[in-house]
């Protein structure tokens, strides 16, 4: 099976590439903006015609799009997350390769959820920021393209390689600095947020399964269990051997209002309904949050 992977040098893309390379039946070609790509191409600025010619030359059976941006202004997010996907869809329509498209979406497309609820794929999307809007527009382009396509709406990725600017990445870095300086307390904000954390290696397994399946439409990829960031911080402290105290600067018991600085625009709660992934892809998460956090900490500890 010939697979064209877009965004192979990104956080999720790196693990998808590793997963596919481990499958002897896959012949992988990576396309991206970096020097480590097999072919250099910028989806946000490249023409559909140029990409169509490449598709006709390589003739992949599956195209996986892990490319995109998570930060920046509305214009940049639209360019990298929406315009780029429009280019992919148009190129596939023009091409004679007939490839299946696996698009990486995200839970930010849904926006805030009712606490205690599980968000299913038929929920009405109400993204709470420009990132979610740009990803939702990409999903609509893919699902309305007439292509053989599936969109994996990934909830909160975690595990090795977690970006330092993400909430859990910042938490690990703050803990590393506290341990390095001998501080016995750590002051944190926003720990009341609850998210469905799913390991990036499980996400890569889901992408692999989606590539081989005939399922179409949107499919949630998560664990089906929301975890309070406060509990994740406590678990990370145990994994790291941090014996100090964790102080919440926005603890409502101290008279301060709760803060939700989590950058996905989804408010205080998000939890996936993952029955579709189980039933249509045969996929279930395998890696627990403690293992994911241990891998995050191992990377942070190497900087001590």
**pLDDT higher than 60, residue 304:** no
- What pLDDT score does 255 carry? 47
CA distance 168 to 68: 20
229-260, pLDDT tens digit by residue?
999 999 999 999 999 999 887 655 544 444 45
CA distance 33 to 43: 8
Strand ranges for the chain from DSSP E: 2-6, 27-32, 39-40, 62-65, 100-106, 149-154, 156-158, 185-188, 194-195, 197-199, 217-221, 227-228, 245-248
271-294, pLDDT tens digit by residue?
999 999 999 999 999 999 999 999
Return the closest-CA partner of residue 218 out of 209, 210, 208: 210
CA distance 283 to 210: 9
Q: Output the CA torsion sign for 218, 222, 224, 230.
A: negative
Q: Categorize the per-residue pLDDT at 18 as very low, low, confident or very high, splitting at 50, 70 and 90.
A: very high
Angle in degrees, CA 170, 187, 224, rounded to 5:
55
- What pLDDT score does 254 carry? 47
174-190, pLDDT tens digit by residue?
999 999 999 999 988 88
**pLDDT higher than 80, residue 261:** no
Return the closest-CA partner of residue 92 out of 136, 128, 61: 61
- What pLDDT score does 257 carry? 44
87-135, pLDDT tens digit by residue?
999 999 999 899 999 999 999 999 999 999 999 999 999 999 999 999 9
Q: H-helix or E-strand containing 238?
A: helix 229-240
Residue given tokens 């293992």 in the structure block: 291
CA distance 53 to 169: 40
24-61, pLDDT tens digit by residue?
999 999 998 887 788 888 999 999 999 999 999 999 99
- What pLDDT score does 302 carry? 81
- What pLDDT score does 270 carry? 97
**pLDDT higher than 90, residue 263:** no
Q: Categorize the per-residue pLDDT at 165 as very low, low, confident or very high, splitting at 50, 70 and 90.
A: confident
What is the pTM assigned to this prediction? 0.95
């Amino acid at each position: 099976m010939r697979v064209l992977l877009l965004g192979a040098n990104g956080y999720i893309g790196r693990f998808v590439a590793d997963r596919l390379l481990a499958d002897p039946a896959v012949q992988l070609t990576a396309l991206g903006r970096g020097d480590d790509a097999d072919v250099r191409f910028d989806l946000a600025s490249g023409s559909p015609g140029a990409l169509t010619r490449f598709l006709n030359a390589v003739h992949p059976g599956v195209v996986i799009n892990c490319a995109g941006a998570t930060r920046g202004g509305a214009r940049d997010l639209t360019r990298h997350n929406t315009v780029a996907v429009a280019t992919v869809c148009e190129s596939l329509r023009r091409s004679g390769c007939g490839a299946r498209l696996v698009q990486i979406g995200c839970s930010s497309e849904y926006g805030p959820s009712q606490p205690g609820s599980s968000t299913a794929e038929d929920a009405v999307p109400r993204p709470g920021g420009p990132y979610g809007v740009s990803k939702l527009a990409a999903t609509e382009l893919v699902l309305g393209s007439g292509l053989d396509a599936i969109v994996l709406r990934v909830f909160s990725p975690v595990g090795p390689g977690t970006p330092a600017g993400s909430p859990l990445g910042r938490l690990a870095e703050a803990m590393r600095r506290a341990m390095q300086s001998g501080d016995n307390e750590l002051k944190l904000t926003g720990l009341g947020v609850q998210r469905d954390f799913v390991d990036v290696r499980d996400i890569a397994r889901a992408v692999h399964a989606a590539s081989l399946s005939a399922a179409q439409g949107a499919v949630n990829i998560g664990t089906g269990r929301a975890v309070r960031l406060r509990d994740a911080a406590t678990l990370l402290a145990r994994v790291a051997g941090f014996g100090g105290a964790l102080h919440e600067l926005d603890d409502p018991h101290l008279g301060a209002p709760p803060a939700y600085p989590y950058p996905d625009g989804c408010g205080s709660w998000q939890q996936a309904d993952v029955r579709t992934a189980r039933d249509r892809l045969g996929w279930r998460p395998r890696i627990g949050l403690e293992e994911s956090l241990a891998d995050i900490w191992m990377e942070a500890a190497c900087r001590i």
